[in-house]
Structure 1
Amino acid sequence: MSAPAGRPVAAARNRQVKLGAYVTFEGRTWQVAAVAGASVRLVDERGQTASVLAPFLFADPTFAVVDSPAAGVPPWGLLESVPARERERALAWQRHIREIETGLPGGPASGGIPRPEYDPKQQSMAAREQAKADELAQLGWPRVSRATVRRMRARYHAGGLMGLIPQRKPSSATGRADERVVAAVLEALRRQHGRSKGTLKGLRQLTGQILTDTHGPEAVALPAPSTFNRLVRVLADPLEHPGRPARTATTTPARPFTPTVALRPGELVQVDTTRLDVMAVGEDGHPVRPELTIALDVATRSVVAAVLREESTQAVDAALLLAEMAVPQPARPGWPGHLRLAHAAVPYARLLALDARLEQAAARPVVVPETIVIDRGRVFVSAAFLAACETLGVSVQPAPPRSPAAKGAVERTFGSINTLFAQHVAGYTGSHVLVRGQAVEDEARFTVAQLQELLDEWVTAVWQHRPHDGLRHPVLPKKALAPNEMWGALLGASGYVPLPLTGADYLELLPVRFHPITGRGIRINYRTYDHAVLNEHRGRPSPTGPDSKWEVHLNPHDVRQIYIRLPDGHLHEIPWIHRDHVHAPMGETAWRHIRATLNHRAGREQHEADLAEAADQVLRHARPLPGRDAPATAAAPSAAVAAAAGPQAADDDAEAQDSLDAVEAHARDDDGRPAADDELSPLAGRFALYDAFEEAEHW
């Protein structure tokens, strides 16, 4: 008596219940005493007997033949996961083994007449195995002998069809990777845990730094990028795996893509705005995510201008972008010499003869744009920006709506800035919310002005000297060129046209508004601007302005002064009456925060003085001192505002460390003499506040 059909041959043979065999039934051990039809007679160790129907005996959960493994249903699902070639080879072996044992490839019930060399009645098992080995060798099967056939028969009887699948030895998850590299990858993943996820390339750089710090420079070599990516895929938590973007479905059909071609510098410049993936310390001390506006020259892939703003980009920023790309960008104090234009791959001597301002310029292209491609944002279609483009002779070309491919070069550059620059800056937010860290706001370390300095230096030192796969010289088509190299190669195609802008040109590009001149001066948003130059015009109507109001130009990023056009046609600077009390540039963002925090509890003059005091305290506390590990928190500006409003403002200000005094103290040694240049470099060089008005005077 045997188990039901449908199991492998070995399984059926092991499940046979013969006379004298010991079986377990209902948790007890029995010996088969007799088999009569469908009934099985069992005898236990105590001599008790039982007669059980065979189907009932086999259905018992505890039934098993003692000293004979019970075979279950073969894992047919695993067979589907086997490569098709190995699965077909296993099925072929099954047919050959069946023919060896029964004479028929399909088994005993398949019918037919066995071939003479495989007839069990005429040939022994050894002869049949040898005949099968000779047949497979003639068919082209490699390395098939009688021993191979015998081994495959044993594997088939032990494991059925799955036993014929080649069993590979399980390998380590990390393979043959160096244990030191594995430890460094695990340490890099630990440091990134809970933070915003970057790219695999950024993680590889971090791993290299860990190996250098642990074992010394060049002691342990990093594996190739493809090997490193496989190692990270094995070691990283799937939820923490870097470089895995979120994918969203879209129902918009793809439009035909036509690449944008530009053959000379300035022929086509693409301008766009996006949020930088870095949290910064705002003017009011709160963490903010600044907005980045860049201008990209398509012919050379050069970032010819980049502007960071705390809030939404305004018309003045777009106009400033035009000025920055059209005039030489001065090298910042503290920058190394190789970042100057004199060391770039351009005909520097010939350019210097055209424009003396290039002598102190940074190694970035100076491009006078012919055509600017913009999106339909309100900033770039504003009257101020279009008027600025018309003044500079620039053609404006709006991109088609919902067509990101129209500005594909600048869109791709934003991704490069995020992966090559932003992910290495403290406060990195990640490219989307699914990879964002848990406390990104607490990681903010730099103000927007400091981030602007870092970005300018990165563009000059890294981006402009980094080979771009899309830049190829006609003479050297196999060599990828850097943007500066491409600019030098194409410079002869268009030449350099100097654009001598002055500080007055910059003032003309500022946003315009109209206000009356009263006996107290000009009142704008709770701020009073006054100067002796207004004396003869107080209370008088403007001869040219609408509603008899005077034309006023205001920089929203520094409200400490305005510029008014008087009858002589020139713009005159009018300072805020409390400008000398506020020692740093202040924008409308910080001013609105101060006004919302400080209640109006006195007359207009006293209230404005309180606002000025609060503004000075906020600007001092919002800028972290050199060497501090944590940025200014939101509570510090609020406390400064409250202190400025109350009678204890002087005492509170004395208790709080004045940031400007601290900077001055930091810049001097114990004897009161100025510190060395290397000690001042973080203050006077790399992180110095960028003053657009001062820079405009150098244009």
Structure 2
Amino acid sequence: MPSVNDPTIVEIHGQTYDVLRVTGTEVTLRSHASGKTITRHPADLAVTDPAFVKRSPRLVDELAPHLRQRLGALAAHLREVDEGVSRDGSRRPEYDLLTTSQETRVARKLCEMEQAGMRMSRAKFMRKLTAYRKYGLAGLVDGRWIRQHDPRKHIPGPVYDTLLDVLNESVNKSTKTRKYVIEEVRKRVRREHGPNVLLPSDASMYRYLNILGQARNLTASGPTRQSAANRRDKTFAKNTERFPGAEVQVDTHQLDVFVYAGKKTVRPYLTVMLDVATRMVLAFTLRIKATKGVDHVLLIAQALTPRQNRPDLSEVRAALQDQMPDHTLLSWEEYQELAREQPYIHPRRIHMDNGKDYLATSVHDATGAIGGDITLSAVRTPTDKAHVERFFRSLESGFVETLPGHTAGNVNDRGKEPENDDLLTIDMLWALLDDWIMRDYHRRPHASLRDERQHRVNISPTQAATSAVSAVSQFRLPWTREMYLSALEPHWRTITDIGVTHNTRQYDSEELHPYRNLMSPDPRKKGKWPVKVDPYNPRVVWLEIARGKFIECRERGTDQAGYLPLLPPVVDDPRADVARFDAAAAGTPMLQPEPPVLPSVESATYEDDDEDDDFDYTNV
């Protein structure tokens, strides 16, 4: 038993020292090997003990419950031998430190443990006692209990290489069973290494598949496997946006519901612009067909129009409510109250995918016009826009599945003929979705949103946006008609005597006369002029004669009587109607078609001539 006057012994970098003196800023040590005395600051002695890494106190947490129970019982016996205190805190005379020696206590404890079914040799007991004194409970952990090894170590080399080849090839193929993969691996190994090669058993092969195939989603659906394979092989950093509008994600999703669009039954396409920092939906558009670049220009224009500045929709909503009384819309007063809660967020960086509609020059021009940037996600990697993808999942489960005509996520879950339900019109779907976003989604607590300044967690998108915009400056940049026209994709045409031609249609204007047969000031386009075309308004184009200055040119012949009935039914085009309603409801500057001005045709009148009545017809 050590004396109270014995010096404290420490081990640093494999050398043993006696601690002679300790002050607040200095520690005096004497080396056992050389006998020299050194003085160090306590911070210099803070070195990592290699044994501590192997015997971390957290090792016990990794053990199974029955092993932790065994360690606790053994530690109680060791403690009683070393300190004389039993598990219940009492001190038994046979283990009294003052009247018994350590050897006597050890011998008595070995007999007691053997009677309790914990037989142990004296040498092992002493090793455990030394480890317990040095590392505590973690020193009693058996190394075999925490042994680690690479699970791929025992896979035969030929089988391992062939198994990886088959798994990599299965990414773009139809889903196969594990049995097929095992048989394919065996067939290839025999072909490459001979028929006499020793192959693992079925149990081993299934175990190898659990090791290698789980990360590759072997039995998952095709899109899941392909998405996982397209994920970049790199270390991903966590990107947390704190600034509203610093990153907004845009994506298009076909909703799992049928609606009426004119006389057609369609599944509409929803395009959403979602702010990452606050999870606020800045803008959304509905289309009955795949989106175009101009649709995303309208989406950007909608995001720049604060809800408080949007048109009065009270009459429109009342008409929709009267048409479909089974679905309840918010009252106009409630709608306005919710609209006042929505903070304005100006999009700075737009994250979108590589679709043809997103790569349109009009989208990039529109983003540049608002002072923003565009970030393109990796090809076929929807996980790059995880936030907006997660929004679509919440939308489907929280809103779409409550609607008539719900088709579910796949054919197996689909009901019988959902297209025959009492379907919504696409205008009613737009109004209900607008209500759901403001009333439900923006007000619902979000697990990923928190307010660091006020130490609030699980706050709603509206609360996150309100807190964020109060801490940073925002500016509003509403779009004008000229800004919208500037963002449309240009088509380069020559101005001739009959105006300009686009898609076999001829367009002209009296204001265009000074520019006929005149080359444009842009030498790179060989004298052609930029013509802006709105696909939802094909009867009008706009010729840009200078930056931001346009001449409106109408289709030739629309001012002639009798021509109007022969025109294509633009007004009855469901796609154009949906786009116009969407733009009008959101207050975006989409150019609405104007009816052609037809000349008035008056009936011919004849004045009475008395001389005609006196004409003598007998001489004719």
- TM superposition score normalised by structure 1: 0.44
- TM superposition score normalised by structure 2: 0.49
